[in-house]
Chain A
Amino acid sequence: MDSSTAGRVPTAGEHPFDAVPTGHETLILTQPWQRVRVHVWEVPVRITHWLTVLCVVVLSVTGGYIADPFLIPAGGQTMGVVRFVHTVTAYLFVASGIVRTYWLFRGNRFAHWRAFIPTNRRHLNEFRSQTGWYLFIRSELPGILGHNALAAATYLVVFFLFLVQVVTGFGLDALHGDPVVVALFGWMPDLFGVQTIRLVHHLVMWIILGFMVHHVYSALLVDHVEKNGLMSSIFSGYKFATRRDVARARDGGIELEEMLR
């Protein structure tokens, strides 16, 4: 926040931060610890996030069944239905991934690819201090509005794992002869061997499930420490950041006009 806006009383219709703590007719934003509402996660980010959650859960359950059918039902088409659901969900997952990839280039500064890939020293330093905080070496969390550097690097790995799952999944689907899938991925079973592809597909599922445990935990932890509404932000899109962070965080320095968008 620059000096021209600091300390000014926002009038109705000009709320730069969309909302301020309730119970006050007006609030004079002069203190660095005062929190403002920042629109961090845009609609496509939230939708693709929850689609990914849905897909990972459905794909893991159906994929687990395909790997080791644990139900022996009387009649019906259990495996046929499960494989159908797995395939359809996989296409939904791919569609969601395409949207999110597009948003890496089109989205706001928190969703942009630059938020994930360290392009400057400050980003790298933040990675180090964030890691130090998790390892109890540092006692302070670096202020950040969107993804912190460590989380962003983890998501890069997870995006790569998702890509591995999509490619190996299509490689296995290519066995059954859909012409388009065979044309694009038919080389895979021949090159790597079907059993190798299956094993990779299966192990990466476990890594993603392990990531989910860690992801939910660290989100809860940071939400608890920061008290910035992180958990609700993935539903609402908004985080409650201190004025200091809005002004000074690596992805901060937000102008009023920009925040209104």
Chain B
Amino acid sequence: MEPGEGTLGRLLVAHHVSRRAFLRFCSAMAAALALPPMYAPRIARALDVAQRVPVIWLEGQDCAGNTEGFLRASHPTVADLVLEILSVDYHETLMAPAGTAAERSRSDTVGAFPGAYIAVVEGGIPVAEGGVYCAIGGRSFRSIVEEVCGGALATIAVGTCAYDGGLPGANGGPTEAVGVSAIVPGKTIINLPGCPMNVQNLTATIVHYLTFGTFPAVDSRGRPTFAYGQLLHDQCERRAHFDAGEYVLGWGDEGHRKGWCLYKMGCKGPETFANCPTVRFNDRTSWPVKAGHGCVGCTMPRFWDQMSPFYRRLSNPPGFAVDVTADEVGLAFVGAVTGLTVIHGAASYARARRARASDEAISRPAGGPAGGPPPSGDGRPEVA
């Protein structure tokens, strides 16, 4: 089939991308989506004829980290072109127009492709005080998200901030940042949390849409199950060291140099759902645990609050000083019980001695023989 004008197939030819490289990419995508290898040709056929999809990329309270990931997609040539199939009509960091012209290009796309464009949101959406903490072109970011995501075919929330407020939404944040799902509930939202999200998962989500015309299956929180369906710990390359009881005890120690498990260094792999160990980052070069640092659970809901302290296994119990651990509280509790026990035991001993002394004082003058209760009775006054 000869690829038509403006299709990915034509783009690949124009960029001198070999057929082999393209098919290898399609196989990698099938694998990333947990599809059988037989789907790779189908993906290739679909991508060959895929038309450009208009995209509006919004940035709120963000660090542009996901934009960085987007620009450094792995499999550079093919993935770049797949992402190029996304006609990014509005992207504050990347676009040429500025000011009114930029705002117009956004409203033009919303008007020209109603219900047919994809919205990508990066960054948290502050809702405190009417959303004044993030405004673009004089409008609150919240109202922009409501307009753009409300009229989109689907919204892809990239990164943890767009997922649930992330860092600006963490405990103590004054702006009350939330994720896209809280602003436009009921709309089709694909959440790709992560700090940043893995661009491989964004690419695979788009490839799924281009191939099947639908977005990949998601869980109850809108996260694609192909990427967020499994415990990181169960896929980790250091898992064998965990099971063997071989742990890093300090940065740079023998275990660390041998690549042992980072569990005791506070790694949150056992509580994190993500496919980092299998897809990795930066053209599949590495990922945090491979680089020798524990996972911080950045794909998980409210991870700044939930997963801290990042370098300790357990969270610290609330209501105590911030550096008091659960074990310190627990040991203090058991110690207090033991201490009270000893004190109570001593006091009970004193009471028993006094009771015995008064018993003897009563029984001595009487000197009664049999008939009365034996001195070693139950220690209580008897009732006839």
Q: Chain A residues in contact with chain B, CB under 8 A?
A: 31-33, 35, 67-69, 71-73, 75-80, 82, 134, 136, 139-141, 143, 175-177, 189-190, 193-196, 198-199, 202-203, 205-207, 209-211, 213-214, 217, 221, 224-228, 242, 244
Residue B301 is within 8 A (CB to CB) of chain A in the complex: yes
9 A-B residue pairings within 8 Å (CB atoms): A35-B378, A175-B270, A194-B306, A202-B314, A203-B329, A221-B348, A226-B378, A226-B379, A227-B378
Asked if B6 is at the interface of the complex by the 8 Å CB criterion, the answer is: no
Which residues 243-302 of B sit at the A interface, judged by CB distance below 8 A?
Answer: 243-247, 249, 255, 263-264, 268, 270-271, 300-302
By a CB distance below 8 angstroms, the chain B residues around A211 are 337
Check if A32 sits within 8 Å of B352, measured CB to CB.
no
Q: Would B271 and A198 count as touching, CB distance under 8 A?
A: yes
Of B243, B244, B245, most A-chain CB atoms within 10 Å: B245
Task: List the 9 closest A-B pairs by CB distance, nearest first.
Answer: A206-B330, A78-B245, A194-B271, A80-B243, A210-B337, A217-B341, A79-B245, A193-B306, A210-B334
Contact of A199 among B231, B246, B317, B382 (CB under 8 A): B317
Establish whether residues B344 and A134, one from each chain, have CB atoms under 8 Å apart when the complex forms. yes
Q: Give the residues in chain A near B84, CB-CB below 8 Å.
A: none
In the assembled complex, the Cα of A204 lies from the Cα of B263 at a distance in Å of 22
Chain B stretch 339-384: residues in CB contact (< 8 A) with chain A: 341, 344-345, 347-348, 351-352, 355, 373-374, 376-384
Indicate whether B15 reaches chain A with its CB closer than 8 angstroms: no
- A68–B264 contact, CB under 8 A? yes
Query: At the interface, yes or no: B133 with Cβ under 8 Å from chain A?
Result: no
**B contacts, CB < 8 Å to A:** 220-221, 230-231, 234, 242-247, 249, 255, 263-264, 268, 270-271, 300-302, 306-307, 313-315, 317, 326-327, 329-331, 333-334, 336-338, 341, 344-345, 347-348, 351-352, 355, 373-374, 376-384
The complex places the Cα of A78 from the Cα of B347 at a distance, in Å, of 45
Q: How far is the CA of A77 from the CA of B241 in the complex (A)?
A: 9
Complex: A136 Cα to B378 Cα, angstroms:
18
- Cβ–Cβ < 8 Å partners of A141 in chain B: 380
Chain A residues closer than 8 Å to B315, beta-carbon distance: 195-196, 198-199
List of A residues within 8 angstroms of B347 by Cβ: 136
* Minimum C-beta distance from A168 to chain B (A): 13
Does A72 lie within 8 Å of B246, measured CB to CB?
Answer: yes
Closest B residue to A76 using CB positions: B244
Q: Report A-chain residues with C-beta under 8 Å of the C-beta of B302.
A: 193
Q: How far is the CA of A195 from the CA of B374 in the complex (A)?
A: 60
**B383:A71 contact, CB within 8 angstroms:** no
Q: Which residue of B lies closest to A199 (CB)?
A: B315
The answer to whether B314 touches A199 (Cβ under 8 A) is yes
Contact, CB under 8 Å: B333 / A69? no
Contact A195 B264 (CB under 8 A): no
- The answer, among A79, A203, A205, A226, for a CB contact under 8 Å with B317, is A203
A-B contact count (CB 8 A): 137
Interface residue from A72, A79, A177, A202 paired with B330 (Cβ < 8 Å) = A202
CA distance A209 to B377 in the complex (A): 34
B245 touches A76 (CB 8 A): yes
Given contacts A78-B245, A206-B329, contact A221 B345 (CB under 8 A): yes
| Min C-beta distance of B338 to chain A, whole Å | 5
Query: In the complex, which residues of chain B have a beta carbon less than 8 angstroms from the beta carbon of A68?
Result: 264, 313, 327
Nearest chain-B residue to A140 (Cβ)? B380
In the complex, the chain B residue whose C-beta lies closest to that of A206 is: B330
The complex places the Cα of A14 from the Cα of B270 at a distance, in Å, of 63
**CA A198 to CA B300, docked complex, whole Å:** 15
Whether B373 pairs with A31 at a CB distance below 8 angstroms is yes
List of A residues within 8 angstroms of B373 by Cβ: 31, 33
Pick the contact of A176 from B234, B264, B313, B351 — CB < 8 Å? B234
The answer to whether A210 touches B348 (Cβ under 8 A) is no
| CB pair B314 A33 closer than 8 Å | no
Decide if B338 touches A72 in the complex (CB within 8 Å). Answer: no
Cα(A68)–Cα(B328), bound, Å = 13
- Known contacts A68-B327, A195-B315, A244-B383; is-contact A213 B334 (Cβ 8 Å): yes
Given contacts A32-B384, A217-B345, A225-B348, contact A175 B231 (CB under 8 A): yes
Query: Is A79 within 8 A of B326, CB to CB?
Result: no
CB of B326 within 8 A of CB of A203, answer yes
By a CB distance below 8 angstroms, the chain A residues around B348 are 221, 225
Partner among B243, B334, B377, B383 whose Cβ is within 8 Å of the Cβ of A206: B334
Q: How far is the CB of A140 from chain B (nearest CB, A)?
A: 6
Is the beta-carbon distance between A71 and B326 smaller than 8 angstroms?
A: no
Pick from B220, B317, B383: contact of A32, CB under 8 Å: B383
For B302, give the chain A residue with the smallest CB separation.
Answer: A193
Q: Closest residue to A197 on the B side, CB-wise? A: B271
Is A195 touching B330 in the complex (CB atoms < 8 A)?
no
Kindly list chain B residues whose C-beta atoms are within 8 Å of the C-beta of A175.
231, 270-271
Of the candidates A78, A177, A221, A226, the one whose C-beta lies within 8 Å of that of B244 is: A78
Contacts of A72 in B (CB 8 A): 245-247, 249, 255
Nearest residue (CB) in A for B376 is A227
A170 to chain B, nearest CB (A): 15
| Of listed A71, A75, A139, A205, residue having the most chain B CB within 10 A | A139
Are A214 and B337 interface neighbours, CB within 8 A?
A: yes
Could you say which residues of chain B place their CB within 8 Å of the CB of A69?
245, 247, 263-264
Residues of chain B contacted by A225 (CB below 8 angstroms): 348, 352, 379
- CB pair A33–B378 under 8 Å, yes or no, is yes
Q: Which residue of A lies closest to B355 (CB)?
A: A139
Given known contacts A193-B301, A210-B334, A79 and B243 CB-to-CB distance under 8 angstroms? yes
